[in-house]
């Protein structure tokens, strides 16, 4: 496939970005690298399903956003970077607006990719963390901002 870009203004009229994020960009764009090889299809579908369960506005827009988030989660950078956003604040605002119940579950502001996979692994009863509680884990700096 290749790189996919969607102007944020076309995604949803209710999506607003902070003033500092709007100023440097004439038209903010959500972009991500699609999984061309299909090697992550199962993971992507699991992530899309998770996100759709928490969609604030179920429908076509939410499905496209869920797909974009899932595909970008396969990238090697921070999710907000792989989406082409300016910073993590924009991603948090997108999650708050479009996947509110999932944002609420991320009470400690865990990095989104880690949070998504933690949610998926908990569903499958797979222990991925070294400690049952984040406060006691030596990897805490890698999971939280």
Mention every residue, 6+ apart, whose C-beta is less than 8 A from residue 51. 62, 65, 66, 69, 70, 99, 102
Please provide the size of the chain in residues. Answer: 145
**Which of 20-29, 93-102, 107-116, 125-134 is most confident?**
93-102
* 1 confidence band (pLDDT: 50, 70, 90): very low
- Min mean pLDDT across 14-18, 58-62, 112-116 is at 14-18
Q: Are 46 and 120 in contact (CB under 8 A)?
A: yes
Each domain of the chain, given as residue ranges in start order, spans 3-143
More confident residue, 144 or 109: 109
What percent of the chain clears pLDDT 70, i.e. is strictly above it? 59
Taking the C-alpha atoms of residue 91 and residue 87, their distance in angstroms, rounded to an integer, is 7
Query: pLDDT of 9-39, one tens digit each?
Result: 544 444 444 444 434 434 445 554 554 456 6
Mean pLDDT of all residues in the chain?
74
pLDDT of residue 102 exceeding 50, the answer is yes
Taking the C-alpha atoms of residue 7 and residue 77, their distance in angstroms, rounded to an integer, is 21
Cβ atoms within 10 Å of 30's Cβ, excluding its own: 23
Q: What is the pLDDT of residue 13?
A: 40
Query: pLDDT of 64-95, one tens digit each?
Result: 999 999 999 988 899 999 888 999 999 999 99
């Amino acid at each position: 496939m290749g790189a996919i870009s969607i102007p944020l203004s076309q995604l949803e009229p209710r999506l607003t970005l902070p003033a500092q994020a709007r100023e440097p960009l004439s038209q903010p764009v959500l972009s991500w690298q699609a999984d061309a090889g299909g090697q992550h299809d199962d993971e992507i579908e699991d992530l899309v399903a998770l996100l759709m369960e928490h969609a604030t506005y179920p429908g076509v827009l939410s499905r496209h956003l869920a797909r974009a988030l899932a595909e970008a989660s396969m990238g090697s950078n921070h999710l907000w970077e792989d989406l082409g956003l300016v910073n993590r604040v924009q991603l948090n605002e997108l999650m708050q607006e479009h996947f509110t119940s999932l944002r609420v579950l991320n009470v400690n502001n865990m990095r989104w990719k880690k949070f998504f996979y933690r949610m998926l692994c908990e569903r499958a009863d797979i222990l991925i963390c070294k400690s049952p509680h984040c406060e006691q884990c030596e990897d805490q700096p890698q999971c939280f901002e």
